[in-house]
Amino acid sequence: IFPTSSYSAAIAFTGTYGINYGRIANNIPSPDEVVKLLKSAKIKNVRIYDADHAVLNAFRGSGLELVIGLPNENVKEMSSSPDRARGWVRDNVNSFLPDTNIVGIAVGNEVLGGGDSDLAGSLLGALKNIHNATKELGIHPSVQISTAHSQAVFSNSFPPSSCVFRDGILQLMKPLLEFFSEVGSPFCLNAYPFLAYTYDPDKIDINYALFQPATGIYDDKTKLSYDNLLDAQIDAAYAALESAGFGEMEVVVTETGWASHGDQNEAAATSTNARTYHYNLRKRLALRKGTPMRPGSVLKAYVFALFNENLKPGAGSERFYGLFKANGTASYDIGFRGLSSSSSSSS
């Protein structure tokens, strides 16, 4: 029997910068073209929201590291049936390894705090059944199991040190966090300074949201200063984890981004602001440093998103988060080369 300290958990994120490859669109480049685009941009860490076989095949032999998603609509079925979970992992993960480098499975997205209590109640069972399936298939040392949370799971996130999990969510969150501590998975957070600013433009300085020089905030309780909103959002998550008894758990940002266009009430959604946010975020992540509350834990983030997705429902901004336009050219210049127009016009 080995001491637990020698147990090495699966790591799904090498480096500090990743991207979400959403595909709610009918005009974006083919998965093969996407692999070329990601390689030319030198983006190695990629998340998708399902386990589409055309994408998994396109990624074969690419060396890119892929986290696949089990969609919310499959969570209840995986929770109620270990056999279904085993079948899903066998067909969508095991049968593509090792040629397609699947390093993680995200079970559901923003389930807690989303208002569907049946779904929320099924999440832990689905996570456990999927994890057990990876163990039975012998792939658990290299495939990390996680689920991403929105900021709707928190209450009092200002100042960061006062943040706790919402009352109705804590009793579901605690067993999840226990499970993640056991398997060595991080707390995955979707954090959007853009949304925080859009909901509260009178209280938040846009420069603070964009990593630009700003007064920032000072947290009296911890005596820590914040010069950007993303760090404050992440430290709020650390404070909530600590208050729930999980102060050792790492927070990984699984989505963050800034829309380049939006509805009339989304005045901050401009390509200038989106470029500023993403350019400064890349610089911030390249420093390989932590947050004020966790200076020793290097910040890692997946940006949202690879493309503008023309079929996304919701506010206008939802369709304009892409670093790249549907034709594969850059939405704005932050140093990534897009696909040349000749190669993308055929897609």
Is residue 255 among the annotated active site residues? yes
CA distances from 62 to 36, 44, 94, 297 (A): 9, 9, 17, 29
β-pairing, 45-47 vs 65-70, is parallel
Domains in the chain and their CATH numbers?
17-197+232-324 (3.20.20.80)
DSSP designation for 332: S
pLDDT in tens, 211-244: 999 999 999 999 999 999 999 999 999 999 999 9
**pTM for the whole thing?**
0.95
Structure tokens at 152: 């709707």
Among the listed residues 65, 250, 255, 318, the single catalytic one is: 255
Q: Pick from 308, 326, 328: which is nearest to 316 by CA?
A: 308
Q: Which candidate in 110, 250, 266, 309 is catalytic?
A: 110
Q: How confident is the model at residue 8 (pLDDT cuts 50, 70, 90)?
A: low
In whole angstroms, what separates CA 206 from the centre of its chain? 23
- pLDDT tens for residues 268-306? 999 999 999 999 999 999 999 999 999 999 999 999 999
The alpha carbon torsion through 202, 204, 207, 210 (nearest 10 deg) reads -120
> What does the pLDDT look like over 66-77, one tens digit per residue?
999 999 999 999
Alpha-carbon dihedral 229, 163, 196, 288, rounded to 10 degrees: 30
Active site residue 110: yes
Does pLDDT of 347 surpass 70? Answer: no
Quick: pLDDT tens for 133-187: 999 999 999 999 999 999 999 999 899 999 999 999 999 999 999 999 999 999 9
- At residue 68's C-alpha, the angle toward residues 345 and 79, to 5°, is 140
Q: What is the pLDDT of residue 339?
A: 87
How sure is the predictor about 343, in pLDDT bands with cuts at 50, 70 and 90? Answer: very low
Tokens of 234: 């992440």
